[in-house]
Structure 1
Amino acid sequence: MHISSDRREDFELTVATERPVALRHGKDLVSPELFERLTEFCAEEYGHERSAAERIMSEALALLDVMGQTGEGLSPSQVVDPGWHTFILHSPEYTEWCQRRYGHYIHHAPKSRYRDRATMVDVVAKIRAHGYAVDERLWGTKADCNQPTCCGDGPCC
């Protein structure tokens, strides 16, 4: 089959736009060594399994990056908030990271009453819009399951 040069360009453009785009992860915003220290602290301080602490830290870093880029104050979920606390408690690293990346310190001003599902859906959408993979289980935005069958993600579990 022969494709004219005009059709070949159309075809190549179509193929190029259909390639999946790799999503970013918050853990890539810091060195592997720092991510390891933060994860260990989060696991120990807040009683999380290591795998959960890794996910929490990655989500917290993605949240911070969106806030740093936009200047918008966003609420972390109750589950993700310890990741932000963990980084703040490593104050020299946190301060340097904020200053180097955004030119200012990202302050934590708790507003726990703003953690309803609608707010978390909005925060997740903003993080996703900045190219991050989002673990919705940590934000409380994963679809609810139907009882008595439990999917492992909803409030019935």
Structure 2
Amino acid sequence: MTTTEKRTTTDARSLISTEMRETLVDNMRAKFPELTEEKADRGVGQMLAFLAACDYADRPLSPSPLVDDFWHAFLLHTKAYAEFCEQRFGRFLHHQPGFLDREEHGGGKALRALTVDSITLAGYEIDMEFWPELDLADCSQCHANCSDSPNHPK
């Protein structure tokens, strides 16, 4: 009998102090009043998991638009952000907006899928609500009559 060992994941919210996390939650709720405190707190965690994955990965990664908003909120606290990067990664993680070469890095959806995979490989939890454009659900490319499947009626 084979057993599968469940890999433990880390909640990235533990990477910063409770005080800084609460500050970021408050900042995001002020900018986006429709965000609940609970969702804003989870968003901070996804942003931190993304940053940890950026340090872990050997390729460029891309945040979702919502995760990027959380990153911007942290960047505005320049001293705290710089200290966080230095303490956690030993270097500053720069925000470099722009478009990556599609041939080299794949399109946006492929890059975001790589990002989510990298977050998981780095050992952090994924909250798919913050990565909605992936629409990964339970699809396994099995050609089970999906719209791009050869079995789907045209």
Look up the match of 1:22: 8
Look up the match of 2:110: 118
Query: C-alpha displacement at 1:54, in angstroms?
Result: 1.2
Query: C-alpha displacement at 1:100, in angstroms?
Result: 1.6
Contact persistence 2:43–2:67 (CA under 8 A): yes
The answer to whether structure 1 residue 83 and structure 2 residue 70 are counterparts is yes
Aligned match of 1:46 in 11, 23, 32? 32
Q: Tell me the amino acid that sits aligned with residue 109 of structure 2.
A: R
Contact persistence 1:68–1:98 (CA under 8 A): no
Higher relative contact order (CA 8 A, sep 6+): 2
**Alpha-carbon RMSD:** 2.6
Contact persistence 1:75–1:123 (CA under 8 A): yes
How big is each residue's C-alpha offset from its partner over 1:65-105, in whole Å with a ceiling of 9 and x where there is no partner? Answer: 11123464311001111111111111111001111222211
Partners of 2:5 and 2:75 lie apart in 1 by 38
Partners of 2:116 and 2:60 lie apart in 1 by 13
Helix, strand or coil for the counterpart of 1:58? helix
The answer to whether structure 1 residue 109 and structure 2 residue 109 are counterparts is no
How big is each residue's C-alpha offset from its partner over 1:135-156, in whole Å with a ceiling of 9 and x where there is no partner? Answer: 1121122446xxxxxxxxxxxx
Where do 4+ consecutive residues of structure 1 move more than 4 Å?
A: 112-115
> What runs of 5+ residues in structure 2 fail to find an aligned partner?
138-154
- Identity across the alignment (%): 29
Q: Tell me the amino acid that sits aligned with residue 119 of structure 1.
A: L
Look up the match of 2:125: 133
Helix, strand or coil for the counterpart of 2:80? helix
> What runs of 5+ residues in structure 1 fail to find an aligned partner?
1-10, 145-157
Q: Of the two, which has the highest radius of gyration?
A: 1
Give the TM-score of the pair, scaled to structure 2.
0.73
Partners of 2:60 and 2:118 lie apart in 1 by 12
Contact persistence 1:75–1:111 (CA under 8 A): no
